[in-house]
Amino acid sequence: MNHQIRARFTKETLVVYQAYREAIGQAALEAGRFVPPFSLNRMTWIKPSFLWMMQRCGWGQKSGQEWVLAVHIRRVEFEKALAQAVLTSPESKVYKDAQEWSDLRQTSPVLIQWDPEYNLRGDKLNHRSLQVGLGRGIIQNYADNWITKIEDLRPLVHKIRDLRQRGLWDQAQRHLPQEKPYPLPVEIARRLGM
């Protein structure tokens, strides 16, 4: 499987997606960052792929995932997190053995999981998409310092979902966020099993 980070990004920022219940989503939009009832005591997962997020949240229709947010974060912080990340499984091409992976897993505040990417029709693709799990050791910094802007994507999600339901695939495709391969330093890519 091909592991690839595809994302919307500029020189300074990239966009990750998250989906929440109304209370969390509304508070985040109003504050421009994550504030209570967002929890700093449990891992939060950020996803650079819009279509992966749509598959996960059922196009904003799964309970507790109706508020889809585009979170613009600082690339420098994202890459710092990836530089200390550990995969969710002991991949032999990354770790010398399961003990090394287990030791790293105990101390790293960042988990990496690679899941199948999806297309607009909901079909699995032959490459994998990145999920980044931010644990207690880093989540406060994420909530307070990484974020430059939070966007409410519900109108866009509803529009694309409606076009999909009507079979208007070309129109739906035109509304998708434009993502491209995200460049990473070689040592970070190796750490992520890319």
Give the global pTM.
0.94
Q: Is pLDDT at 21 greater than 80 in this prediction?
A: yes
What pLDDT does residue 149 have?
Answer: 97
Question: Residue 193 falls within a domain, yes or no?
Answer: no
Mean pLDDT of 69-80: 98
183 part of a folded domain: yes
In a domain, 192, yes or no: no
Domain range for 91 is 2-187
- pLDDT 10s digits, 150-184: 999 999 999 999 999 999 999 999 999 999 999 99
Predicted confidence band at 17 (pLDDT cuts at 50, 70, 90)?
very high
Is residue 194 included in any domain, yes or no? no
**pLDDT score at 4:** 85
- Kindly state whether residue 161 falls inside one of the protein's structural domains: yes
Q: Is residue 137 very low, low, confident or very high in pLDDT (cuts 50, 70, 90)?
A: confident
- Written as one string, the DSSP assignment of 88-120 is SS--TTT-SSHHHHHHHHHH-SEEEEEEEEE-T
Tokens of 104: 């790293």
Neighbours of 148 (CB within 10 A): 14
Kindly indicate the confidence band of residue 2, based on its pLDDT and cuts at 50, 70 and 90.
confident
Residue 142 belongs to a domain? yes
Enumerate the β-bridge partners of residue 180: 7
Q: What is the mean pLDDT of the chain?
A: 95
Q: 31-71: per-residue pLDDT in tens?
A: 999 999 999 999 999 999 999 999 999 999 999 999 999 99
> In total, how many domains does the chain have?
1
Question: Does 52 reside within a domain?
Answer: yes
pLDDT of residue 176: 97
Joined tokens for residue 193: 């099993």
Q: Are 73 and 47 in contact (CB under 8 A)?
A: no
